[in-house]
Amino acid sequence: MSAFSWRDWLFSGKTFAAAILALYIALALGLPRPYWAMSAVYVVSHPLSGATRSKALYRTLGTLLGASAAVWFVPALIDAPLILSAVVALWTGTLLYLSMLDRTPRSYVFMLAAYSLPLIALPAVNNPQGVFDIAVARSEEIILGIICASLVAAIVLPTRVSQALNGRLQAWMNDAADWAAEVLVPTDASKPAHHRHKLASDILALDLFITQMAYDAENREQVGLTRELRARMGMLLPVLSSLTGSLGEIRSQHHAVPDTLQTLLQHIASWIKQPYAPDMAMQAQLLRQQVQAYQPGPEVPHWIALLATNARARMLSLIALWQDCMQLQAQIRAGERDARWQPIYARWDLTSKARHYDYGMLWFSAGSASLFTFIACVLWRELGWADGASAVTLGAVACCFFAALDEPVPMLKIFFRWTVVSIVISAMWLFAVLPLSHEFETLAVLLAPPFLLIGLLITQPRYNLIGMLLGVNTATFLGVQGVYDANFTSFFNGNLAGLAGILFALIWTLVTRPFGVELAKRRLIQSSWRDLARNAAGDHEDDYRHLTARMLDRLGQLMPRLAASGDDSFSDGFRELRVGFSTLDLQRDEHRLQGPAQDAIHDVLCGVASHYDRALALAETTTASEQLRGQIDVAIERARHIDSAAALEAQNALVEIRTSLFPGATGPAATVALQEG
């Protein structure tokens, strides 16, 4: 663990102060379970003030929604316990599913509502007439804690989301610059793969930060700028991947990049590695002019010339995207938009927020949590276990927390292990330390040591979950009331029930979700194949904007899974991305060409669709057919003999598909199409 900074200590102190304030107010108001207010502080607190506010708002709404459902369902179904159990389980699963569909802080509404119903409803089944009072009290306690956490975070030296985001953006751009330089002027063949996997994974994490910026009052102007930057950062991935493929083919088949092209690559790499400067636009314009003027010489072999022409187009895209990214980043740092700024990159519409969802796996995960809740409710009722409600609620919470993970079992083990630690800490303080306190001030001093250390854990990304679990569970298990009335038997039975619920959730998940990351990885890749087959066949309703956004999002989801499995033999994700963009290019260019060229492109698109249909049918990566390679070669040659921008774009897209599906293959002869045509 790295040394704690003063900001870490500040956050821990602020969180503890908010928790003590919430506890004091709850005790003063005579709320029945004041410790819930204290635990709520540790649920919502985040080192970034905007993140705390967003979590606070949506967790409040989720709590109220779950409490309202409890008030509605419990009195109506108290005489039908099996139906009530089914309703609670269905509610939990349905709301959990909705939470997994939303990757913004809004998901907290549905997540909290999912487990707030069993949290409030199940302890009230023996007193259905009092469910309204229980729901109101729980809501008051939780909302009180949320308000205290939000106020303290906002008033006492708040840490803005933009401060953390700027650092992440700069780190991402540095990694992208390293990858670009390595692609253009390689020194270490292993670096591009490392950089591209990290970049694709990290870009998804930026989405949450960007959403949270909307809750920082000073950052509202920056939100739009950051979204524009994030969209262009995403497009850098396929552009750099395409350059990797084209330049790699040139180097492997021609042994060296032609001198003129190599000089251009060195100039671009040097420019990209430079920090932002006011004259960046002028330098970019000069580079664009040099790249546009480049033509492969007559001494360059035919296939190498085609690859170089494709690389030239990608270099122009790289320059435009990098210029946009650097200028947007400068505006974000300045905190205001430059009214004169206009984007340079305009090849693809980058405004779509479409995302890829594996609806089948989401339903399965939610259904698993729902069925667990139902079975746990039935077992509790049938066994007549007095403290069984604690088992059901903690088990449901555990299932909900980690439902979105490919491998929830390791996290459930952490949940179980650190819940045990929370019980031990709570027992030590409850029976050995807290009896020494006789007024609230002494109580606060005695609670400070463990909770200040817990707050420090929350500041460390590696230990954030552990810190949150310790904070919430320790505050809850201590059960601080207005009068000290600790009972070891009650403490032991209630907490043992909670542990039993988590253990049951762990065993249940081991049985129902043994698939791991491999299944998720394969389903993502097969979704890419399905989209590619559909798009190549023309079944996309010209919705290029959403298609590009989904392809990029799918890549971002795939990269951490490939890293986790350590195996990209099935697919590296980038190959499908390059084929996907090239297919969309051909779809657009096909309608702008006539005669034999249009027919040849149509044949290629049908061949690509058949290739991915076959891969889907076999559920494994397949080698593209020689027939498809021949169709691509014919289409390239026919497009090459047409003097138009559309034909050049089509030629580049065809070259891209060929290098993606037939890496290392010998290039086509210059006369292939004329002989066959």
What pLDDT does residue 344 have? 93
CA–CA separation, 653 and 96 (whole Å): 42
471-478 average pLDDT score: 96
Number of independent structural domains in the chain: 3
Query: What is the pTM (predicted TM-score) of this model?
Result: 0.90
Tell whether 154 and 221 lie within a shared domain: no
Point out the least confidently predicted range of 49-63, 129-143, 502-516: 49-63
Tell whether 207 and 91 lie within a shared domain: no
Q: Is pLDDT larger for residue 504 or for residue 208?
A: 504
Tell whether 175 and 136 lie within a shared domain: no
Q: Domain boundary at 480, 512, 544, which?
A: 512
Q: What's the mean per-residue pLDDT of the chain?
A: 90
Tell whether 262 and 209 lie within a shared domain: yes
What pLDDT does residue 677 have? 41
Spacing of C-alpha 430 from chain mean position: 40
Tell whether 165 and 215 lie within a shared domain: yes
126-139 average pLDDT score: 92
Nearest to 182 by CA among 174, 196, 192, 173: 192
CA–CA separation, 236 and 175 (whole Å): 12
Q: Domain boundary at 512, 540, 555, which?
A: 512
Tell whether 142 and 167 lie within a shared domain: no
Q: Which of 42-51, 102-111, 500-509, 588-597 has the highest mean pLDDT?
A: 500-509
Q: Which domain holds residue 486?
A: 6-159+356-512
Instruction: Indicate whether 643 pLDDT > 80.
Output: yes
Residue 1 placed within a domain:
no
What pLDDT does residue 1 have? 44
Nearest to 99 by CA among 400, 342, 349: 400
CA–CA separation, 162 and 226 (whole Å): 10
The 10s digit of each residue's pLDDT in 365-390 is 999 999 999 999 999 999 988 899 99
Q: Domain boundary at 461, 485, 512, which?
A: 512
Residue 322 placed within a domain:
yes
Tell whether 171 and 135 lie within a shared domain: no
- The model's confidence at residue 560, banded by pLDDT at 50, 70 and 90, is confident
Tell whether 494 and 594 lie within a shared domain: no
CA–CA separation, 88 and 74 (whole Å): 9
The 10s digit of each residue's pLDDT in 447-467 is 999 999 999 999 998 999 999
Residue 342 placed within a domain:
no
Tell whether 310 and 389 lie within a shared domain: no
Neighbours of 302 (CB within 10 A): 17
Residue 656 placed within a domain:
yes
State both tokens at 534.
């559909």
Spacing of C-alpha 439 from chain mean position: 46
The 10s digit of each residue's pLDDT in 521-542 is 999 999 999 999 998 988 766 5
State both tokens at 538.
């023309």
- Is the separation of the CB atoms in 113 and 97 below 8 Å? no
Phi, psi of 514 (to 5 degrees): -90, 5
- The model's confidence at residue 566, banded by pLDDT at 50, 70 and 90, is low
CA–CA separation, 479 and 477 (whole Å): 5
The 10s digit of each residue's pLDDT in 235-294 is 999 999 999 999 999 999 877 888 899 999 999 999 999 999 988 999 999 999 999 999
Phi, psi of 215 (to 5 degrees): -100, 5
What pLDDT does residue 397 have? 96
Instruction: Indicate whether 492 pLDDT > 50.
Output: yes
The 10s digit of each residue's pLDDT in 387-429 is 999 999 999 999 999 999 999 999 999 999 999 999 999 999 9
Task: Name the one residue in this structure whose structure tokens are 């487990």.
Answer: 115
Contacts of 366 (CB under 8 A, 6+ apart): 93, 94, 96, 97, 100, 403
Nearest to 666 by CA among 256, 299, 306: 306
- Is the separation of the CB atoms in 484 and 343 below 8 Å? no
Tell whether 422 and 325 lie within a shared domain: no
CA–CA separation, 418 and 406 (whole Å): 21
Tell whether 149 and 167 lie within a shared domain: no
